[in-house]
Structure 1
């Protein structure tokens, strides 16, 4: 066995892809999750002797302490994810995204290692034509962005940790989310054949869910060299506006019609482009292009409907 991994929120979108990779690589994995969305995202792994699932809240001090003490690695995935979901319940966003992380860090010994995912939405609104790198100022414009930025600072101040600032994630997973931008627009293309876009010039970066999970594995495998650093994780050829994203989808769904509204605003005001050169310099490379992800989503959407596959 390579080591013991504790993942809070491990039954979610990222965890449903990451957990099997860890098990396959020889780690023992314990997941703490409230499984509030009712998904059986980890059910296939119940027979694995190195896997354990604990139903509980990441804010439950006694529960988390019971499992944190034996972990070699800790990956805090539990979060209220996305600006809309955090705006709906700001108290939960703060208590889960920030307070629970601080509580968990306080339980760990100095030799326990942390892999921490945050959002590159902390960059807020960038400057036109200038790539945000890890030294760029953080200017979060949502409760989601602010809580994740504050949590990252707590993690990096504690030390013995790597933080990954994730681009907007896309792709199919056992615990699916359709409310993410690529996933959402592709669903609309497949089901509705149309979408109305607000502020279509706003840009952001994107990354496939499986490349995120493999990025975590890369950080664990290269931990000594990467320790104590923050890394952007995204597709360097996918710094796209919403209109450019729709054009990519239309290449595979020709009947898709998209229109930019002349009035109205997007509540998510993020607008920036991102450099992923620092992470790429460590040897990490994404394996899934945006085009591959769109093709995957089109196939996946033939199997599901959107009644339950979103956070808001």
Structure 2
């Protein structure tokens, strides 16, 4: 039974991934400092093969000791998004970049490293984005992810997953992600105000990300040393198109465009996921599924600004 280390495993992606891998027969160790006081892993303690270590990836010596005892390393611990990164640049560099450097210092040829990365590296482009497209990071978050990927690919032992904007329900819910945020506002406010509504992004369900990590783990030899875009090919949508999609599920939703204000987030791109799909990977959860899931789940969330549901 393979042993997987997930740093930041109590977060939005990690809590979903940990559950998925345990269900599929892997042993999972989560290293997390619980900086948001989350209890997202509580349900996993009843499962065989689960271990939790409360600790910080900035403690490089402890991290290196833990890494050596695992077959597969997934460094999910990160300061995520422009606002959180800009609020604490030193912390962002330490967690998003230095963590990966520490792992690479002790990683053996027999171990597997799968690096969660982001479409944000591409910034803004008028062309269809492939894995060969140049980076154009527009934020500190994207810059640290570029640097981490460069370090890993230079090492030769690793796979980078450039994830689309994630949506869907997770044990550690986040309402600040675009789809999740739009659905929440649609339910509770009854309207959406869109800035630069033509900006496009690609999207992917959190459960499909968990499936992607497992797919790479089980096809590592053919993926090693490469980067892959991970998203729904059917969901390269502008913010306006996304809002209109949500309106099909919430008919009374009012959509307004504000053409006088700019969005501080300038990401704008269409992403090709052909490279990963050519290996046989395909998503299972489309945008409509995720929107319906969110509408049901948000009955439990009264205040989206609660620290349990945001990374700020």
Bin of the TM-score, shorter chain as denominator length: over 0.9
Q: What is the rounded CA distance, in whole Å, between the counterparts of 1:36 and 1:134 in structure 2?
A: 33
Select which of 213, 216, 219 maps to 1:216.
213
Name whichever of 106-115 and 75-84 sits farther off.
Answer: 106-115
Corresponding residue for residue 166 of structure 1: 163
Structure 1 runs, 4 residues or longer, greater than 2 Å off:
none
Counting only pairs closer than 5 Å after superposition, residues 96-115 of structure 1 correspond to structure 2 as 96-115=95-114
Which deviations, in whole Å up to 9, do the C-alpha atoms of 1:1-33 show, x marking residues without a partner?
2x1111110111111111122112221111100
SS at structure 2 position matched to 1:44: helix
Select which of 131, 152, 157 maps to 1:134.
131
Give the superposed CA RMSD: 1.0
Q: Is the 8 A contact 1:31 1:52 kept in 2?
A: yes
Corresponding residue for residue 257 of structure 1: 254
Residue 66 of structure 1 deviates from its aligned partner by 2.3
Corresponding residue for residue 46 of structure 1: 45
Q: What is the rounded CA distance, in whole Å, between the counterparts of 2:82 and 2:264 in structure 1?
A: 8
Counting only pairs closer than 5 Å after superposition, residues 278-289 of structure 1 correspond to structure 2 as 278-289=275-286
Q: What is the rounded CA distance, in whole Å, between the counterparts of 2:297 and 2:56 in structure 1?
A: 30
Structure 1 unaligned blocks of 5 or more: none
Residue 107 of structure 1 deviates from its aligned partner by 2.0
Q: Is the 8 A contact 1:111 1:160 kept in 2?
A: no
Corresponding residue for residue 4 of structure 1: 3
Q: Is the 8 A contact 1:177 1:183 kept in 2?
A: yes
Q: What is the rounded CA distance, in whole Å, between the counterparts of 2:173 and 2:153 in structure 1?
A: 30
Q: What is the rounded CA distance, in whole Å, between the counterparts of 1:88 and 1:248 in structure 2?
A: 33
Corresponding residue for residue 154 of structure 2: 157
Residue 228 of structure 1 deviates from its aligned partner by 1.3
Select which of 245, 263, 268 maps to 1:266.
263
Residue 115 of structure 1 deviates from its aligned partner by 0.7
SS at structure 2 position matched to 1:205: strand
Corresponding residue for residue 200 of structure 2: 203
Q: What is the rounded CA distance, in whole Å, between the counterparts of 1:63 and 1:265 in structure 2?
A: 44
Name whichever of 130-139 and 255-264 sits farther off.
Answer: 255-264
Which deviations, in whole Å up to 9, do the C-alpha atoms of 1:36-73 show, x marking residues without a partner?
11121111111333111011111112221221111111
Structure 2 unaligned blocks of 5 or more: none
Q: Is the 8 A contact 2:129 2:270 kept in 1?
A: yes
Residue 112 of structure 1 deviates from its aligned partner by 1.3
Corresponding residue for residue 57 of structure 1: 56
TM-score (normalizing by structure 2): 0.97
Corresponding residue for residue 295 of structure 2: 298
SS at structure 2 position matched to 1:135: coil
